[in-house]
Protein backbone atom coordinates (compact mmCIF):
# COMPACT_ATOMS: atom_id res chain seq x y z
CA UNK A 1 0.00 0.00 0.00
CA UNK A 2 1.10 3.57 -0.57
CA UNK A 3 -0.13 6.98 0.48
CA UNK A 4 -1.30 9.24 -2.34
CA UNK A 5 -2.61 12.72 -2.99
CA UNK A 6 -5.51 12.57 -5.44
CA UNK A 7 -6.50 15.57 -7.61
CA UNK A 8 -9.32 16.29 -10.04
CA UNK A 9 -8.99 18.48 -13.11
CA UNK A 10 -11.55 21.25 -12.77
CA UNK A 11 -12.66 23.26 -15.79
CA UNK A 12 -13.78 26.87 -15.66
CA UNK A 13 -16.17 28.42 -18.20
CA UNK A 14 -13.54 28.54 -20.96
CA UNK A 15 -12.74 24.87 -20.51
CA UNK A 16 -10.21 24.67 -23.35
CA UNK A 17 -7.92 27.32 -21.87
CA UNK A 18 -8.81 27.64 -18.19
CA UNK A 19 -8.51 24.62 -15.90
CA UNK A 20 -6.73 23.66 -12.69
CA UNK A 21 -6.16 20.70 -10.40
CA UNK A 22 -8.30 20.93 -7.28
CA UNK A 23 -10.56 18.89 -5.03
CA UNK A 24 -7.51 17.25 -3.48
CA UNK A 25 -8.01 14.13 -1.41
CA UNK A 26 -5.54 12.09 0.62
CA UNK A 27 -5.85 8.33 0.60
CA UNK A 28 -4.19 4.97 0.23
CA UNK A 29 -4.10 2.51 -2.68
CA UNK A 30 -2.67 -0.96 -3.24
CA UNK A 31 -1.16 -1.52 -6.69
CA UNK A 32 -0.13 -4.80 -8.32
CA UNK A 33 3.55 -5.05 -9.24
CA UNK A 34 3.05 -6.45 -12.74
CA UNK A 35 1.55 -4.25 -15.44
CA UNK A 36 -1.06 -5.64 -17.84
CA UNK A 37 -0.46 -3.58 -20.93
CA UNK A 38 -1.54 -0.27 -22.43
CA UNK A 39 0.82 -0.40 -25.35
CA UNK A 40 3.78 1.66 -26.44
CA UNK A 41 3.25 4.91 -24.57
CA UNK A 42 2.18 3.86 -21.06
CA UNK A 43 2.02 0.96 -18.63
CA UNK A 44 -1.16 0.10 -16.77
CA UNK A 45 -1.39 -1.49 -13.31
CA UNK A 46 -4.43 -2.75 -11.45
CA UNK A 47 -5.00 -0.90 -8.19
CA UNK A 48 -7.49 -1.02 -5.36
CA UNK A 49 -8.60 1.89 -3.21
CA UNK A 50 -7.94 1.16 0.45
CA UNK A 51 -9.20 4.36 2.07
CA UNK A 52 -9.63 8.10 1.79
CA UNK A 53 -10.94 8.83 -1.73
CA UNK A 54 -14.62 9.38 -0.96
CA UNK A 55 -16.86 10.50 -2.60
CA UNK A 56 -15.07 9.70 -5.90
CA UNK A 57 -14.12 6.09 -5.09
CA UNK A 58 -15.35 3.80 -2.32
CA UNK A 59 -12.86 1.65 -0.37
CA UNK A 60 -12.26 -1.55 -2.35
CA UNK A 61 -13.01 0.11 -5.69
CA UNK A 62 -11.02 -1.37 -8.61
CA UNK A 63 -8.96 1.18 -10.55
CA UNK A 64 -6.26 1.33 -13.20
CA UNK A 65 -3.06 3.25 -12.50
CA UNK A 66 -1.03 4.38 -15.52
CA UNK A 67 2.57 5.50 -15.85
CA UNK A 68 3.98 6.99 -19.03
CA UNK A 69 6.82 4.95 -20.51
CA UNK A 70 8.99 8.06 -20.86
CA UNK A 71 9.61 7.84 -17.10
CA UNK A 72 9.01 4.10 -16.65
CA UNK A 73 12.40 3.60 -14.95
CA UNK A 74 11.84 6.29 -12.36
CA UNK A 75 12.99 9.84 -11.78
CA UNK A 76 15.92 9.00 -9.47
CA UNK A 77 15.56 12.32 -7.63
CA UNK A 78 16.24 14.17 -10.88
CA UNK A 79 14.23 17.42 -10.78
CA UNK A 80 14.01 17.62 -14.56
CA UNK A 81 12.61 14.08 -14.78
CA UNK A 82 10.17 14.81 -11.94
CA UNK A 83 8.86 17.81 -13.88
CA UNK A 84 8.58 15.72 -17.04
CA UNK A 85 6.77 13.02 -15.06
CA UNK A 86 4.29 15.61 -13.76
CA UNK A 87 3.80 17.22 -17.17
CA UNK A 88 3.04 13.91 -18.89
CA UNK A 89 0.57 12.80 -16.19
CA UNK A 90 -1.14 16.21 -16.14
CA UNK A 91 -1.39 16.18 -19.92
CA UNK A 92 -3.06 12.75 -19.88
CA UNK A 93 -5.66 14.16 -17.47
CA UNK A 94 -6.21 17.29 -19.54
CA UNK A 95 -6.66 15.46 -22.83
CA UNK A 96 -9.00 12.71 -21.63
CA UNK A 97 -11.11 15.00 -19.45
CA UNK A 98 -11.36 17.56 -22.26
CA UNK A 99 -12.67 14.82 -24.53
CA UNK A 100 -15.06 13.79 -21.73
CA UNK A 101 -16.37 17.36 -21.65
CA UNK A 102 -16.98 17.24 -25.39
CA UNK A 103 -18.76 13.90 -24.94
CA UNK A 104 -21.24 15.60 -22.60
CA UNK A 105 -21.93 18.28 -25.23
CA UNK A 106 -22.32 15.55 -27.85
CA UNK A 107 -24.78 13.68 -25.61
CA UNK A 108 -26.86 16.82 -25.11
CA UNK A 109 -27.04 17.38 -28.88
CA UNK A 110 -27.83 13.73 -29.63
CA UNK A 111 -30.50 13.33 -26.93
CA UNK A 112 -33.35 14.95 -28.93
CA UNK A 113 -32.67 12.67 -31.93
CA UNK A 114 -35.35 10.00 -32.06
CA UNK A 115 -34.02 6.48 -31.74
CA UNK A 116 -30.39 7.50 -31.17
CA UNK A 117 -30.29 5.73 -27.81
CA UNK A 118 -27.47 5.82 -25.32
CA UNK A 119 -24.39 7.91 -26.00
CA UNK A 120 -20.85 6.65 -25.28
CA UNK A 121 -19.34 8.20 -22.18
CA UNK A 122 -15.66 8.88 -21.59
CA UNK A 123 -14.75 8.00 -18.03
CA UNK A 124 -12.88 10.62 -15.95
CA UNK A 125 -9.19 10.31 -15.20
CA UNK A 126 -7.40 11.72 -12.13
CA UNK A 127 -3.89 12.86 -11.21
CA UNK A 128 -2.18 11.23 -8.24
CA UNK A 129 1.01 12.11 -6.42
CA UNK A 130 2.90 9.28 -4.68
CA UNK A 131 5.60 11.01 -2.59
CA UNK A 132 7.38 7.78 -1.63
CA UNK A 133 7.40 6.30 -5.13
CA UNK A 134 10.29 6.49 -7.58
CA UNK A 135 7.75 7.64 -10.19
CA UNK A 136 5.78 10.13 -8.09
CA UNK A 137 3.13 11.23 -10.61
CA UNK A 138 0.64 8.93 -12.33
CA UNK A 139 -2.98 8.83 -13.40
CA UNK A 140 -5.80 6.68 -12.07
CA UNK A 141 -9.23 5.86 -13.42
CA UNK A 142 -12.02 3.35 -12.87
CA UNK A 143 -11.33 -0.17 -14.13
CA UNK A 144 -13.83 -1.29 -16.73
CA UNK A 145 -15.07 -4.83 -16.10
CA UNK A 146 -16.29 -6.88 -19.03
CA UNK A 147 -15.36 -7.57 -22.64
CA UNK A 148 -12.83 -4.91 -23.62
CA UNK A 149 -13.08 -3.88 -27.27
CA UNK A 150 -11.03 -1.57 -29.48
CA UNK A 151 -12.70 0.21 -32.37
CA UNK A 152 -11.23 1.27 -35.71
CA UNK A 153 -10.97 5.01 -36.34
CA UNK A 154 -11.84 4.31 -39.99
CA UNK A 155 -15.21 2.61 -39.73
CA UNK A 156 -15.97 1.89 -36.07
CA UNK A 157 -15.55 -1.88 -36.49
CA UNK A 158 -13.87 -3.98 -33.81
CA UNK A 159 -10.11 -4.27 -34.17
CA UNK A 160 -9.79 -8.06 -34.11
CA UNK A 161 -10.00 -10.95 -36.54
CA UNK A 162 -13.81 -10.85 -36.49
CA UNK A 163 -14.05 -7.17 -37.50
CA UNK A 164 -17.61 -7.08 -36.19
CA UNK A 165 -19.82 -4.05 -36.55
CA UNK A 166 -21.63 -2.76 -33.48
CA UNK A 167 -23.83 0.12 -32.45
CA UNK A 168 -21.22 1.18 -29.89
CA UNK A 169 -18.47 1.22 -32.50
CA UNK A 170 -20.53 3.25 -34.96
CA UNK A 171 -21.42 5.75 -32.24
CA UNK A 172 -17.75 6.05 -31.29
CA UNK A 173 -16.84 6.73 -34.91
CA UNK A 174 -19.64 9.31 -35.20
CA UNK A 175 -18.45 11.02 -32.02
CA UNK A 176 -14.90 11.08 -33.34
CA UNK A 177 -15.94 12.89 -36.52
CA UNK A 178 -18.21 15.22 -34.52
CA UNK A 179 -15.33 16.29 -32.24
CA UNK A 180 -13.00 16.75 -35.20
CA UNK A 181 -15.53 19.06 -36.89
CA UNK A 182 -16.49 20.82 -33.64
CA UNK A 183 -12.86 21.77 -32.95
CA UNK A 184 -12.05 22.64 -36.58
CA UNK A 185 -9.55 19.80 -36.70
CA UNK A 186 -7.88 20.65 -33.38
CA UNK A 187 -8.84 17.56 -31.38
CA UNK A 188 -8.77 13.98 -32.59
CA UNK A 189 -10.10 11.17 -30.40
CA UNK A 190 -7.92 8.11 -31.03
CA UNK A 191 -7.50 4.56 -29.76
CA UNK A 192 -11.22 4.14 -29.17
CA UNK A 193 -11.80 1.32 -26.74
CA UNK A 194 -14.06 0.24 -23.94
CA UNK A 195 -16.68 -2.16 -22.64
CA UNK A 196 -19.38 -2.46 -25.27
CA UNK A 197 -21.95 -3.96 -22.91
CA UNK A 198 -22.19 -0.84 -20.77
CA UNK A 199 -22.40 2.40 -22.72
CA UNK A 200 -23.05 4.37 -19.56
CA UNK A 201 -19.45 3.75 -18.50
CA UNK A 202 -17.77 3.10 -21.81
CA UNK A 203 -16.21 3.22 -24.36
CA UNK A 204 -13.17 4.80 -22.84
CA UNK A 205 -11.28 7.00 -25.27
CA UNK A 206 -7.77 8.32 -25.37
CA UNK A 207 -6.95 11.41 -27.36
CA UNK A 208 -4.25 13.33 -29.13
CA UNK A 209 -4.43 17.07 -28.62
CA UNK A 210 -2.54 19.11 -31.19
CA UNK A 211 -1.01 21.82 -28.98
CA UNK A 212 2.50 23.33 -28.77
CA UNK A 213 4.65 21.53 -26.24
CA UNK A 214 2.80 18.26 -26.61
CA UNK A 215 5.21 15.41 -25.94
CA UNK A 216 3.60 13.47 -28.80
CA UNK A 217 3.17 16.47 -31.10
CA UNK A 218 4.72 14.74 -34.11
CA UNK A 219 2.48 11.71 -33.68
CA UNK A 220 -0.51 13.99 -33.13
CA UNK A 221 0.11 15.96 -36.32
CA UNK A 222 0.51 12.75 -38.29
CA UNK A 223 -2.77 11.34 -36.98
CA UNK A 224 -4.60 14.61 -37.50
CA UNK A 225 -3.32 14.83 -41.06
CA UNK A 226 -4.38 11.27 -41.86
CA UNK A 227 -7.79 11.75 -40.28
CA UNK A 228 -8.33 15.02 -42.15
CA UNK A 229 -7.68 13.14 -45.40
CA UNK A 230 -10.06 10.36 -44.33
CA UNK A 231 -12.79 12.85 -43.38
CA UNK A 232 -12.51 14.64 -46.71
CA UNK A 233 -12.74 11.29 -48.50
CA UNK A 234 -15.89 10.33 -46.58
CA UNK A 235 -17.57 13.68 -47.32
CA UNK A 236 -16.74 13.33 -51.01
CA UNK A 237 -17.94 9.71 -51.06
CA UNK A 238 -21.24 10.63 -49.39
CA UNK A 239 -21.82 13.44 -51.89
CA UNK A 240 -21.27 11.00 -54.76
CA UNK A 241 -23.72 8.50 -53.24
CA UNK A 242 -26.34 11.25 -52.92
CA UNK A 243 -25.92 11.95 -56.62
CA UNK A 244 -26.49 8.26 -57.37
CA UNK A 245 -22.86 7.48 -58.20
CA UNK A 246 -21.91 4.01 -57.05
CA UNK A 247 -18.27 4.05 -58.15
CA UNK A 248 -15.88 5.30 -55.47
CA UNK A 249 -14.20 8.60 -56.46
CA UNK A 250 -10.49 8.53 -57.21
CA UNK A 251 -8.47 10.67 -54.82
CA UNK A 252 -4.84 11.35 -55.53
CA UNK A 253 -2.45 9.93 -52.98
CA UNK A 254 0.18 12.12 -51.34
CA UNK A 255 2.92 13.03 -53.77
CA UNK A 256 0.87 12.54 -56.94
Rounded to the nearest integer, the mean pLDDT of the chain is: 73
Overall average pLDDT of the 176-181 stretch = 82
Determine contact, residues 162/210, Cβ cutoff 8 Å. no
Question: Domains in the chain, ordered, with CATH?
Answer: 1-143 (3.30.200.20), 145-243 (no CATH)
Q: What's the pLDDT score for residue 60? A: 94
pLDDT higher than threshold 90 for residue 140: yes
pLDDT band at 81 (very low <50, low <70, confident <90, very high): confident
Cα(42)–Cα(79) distance, rounded to whole angstroms?
21
Closest CA to 229 of 213, 199, 253: 253
Cα(128)–Cα(85) distance, rounded to whole angstroms?
11
More confident residue, 104 or 230: 104
Question: Chain-centre distance of CA 101, in angstroms?
Answer: 12
Question: Chain-centre distance of CA 60, in angstroms?
Answer: 24
Q: What's the pLDDT score for residue 208? A: 47
Summarize pLDDT for 52-76 with one digit per residue, the tens. 999 999 999 999 999 887 776 666 6
pLDDT higher than threshold 80 for residue 108: yes
Summarize pLDDT for 182-239 with one digit per residue, the tens. 887 777 777 667 665 333 333 344 454 444 344 444 444 454 455 555 555 444 444 4
Amino acid sequence: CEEIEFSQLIFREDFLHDSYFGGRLHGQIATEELHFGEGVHRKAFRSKVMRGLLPVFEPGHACVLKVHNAVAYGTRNNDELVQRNYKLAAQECYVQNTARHYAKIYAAEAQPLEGFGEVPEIIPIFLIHRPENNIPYATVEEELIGEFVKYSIRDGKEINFLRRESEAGQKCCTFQHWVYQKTSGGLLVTDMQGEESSLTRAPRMLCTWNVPGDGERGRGRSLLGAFKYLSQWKVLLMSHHKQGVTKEPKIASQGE
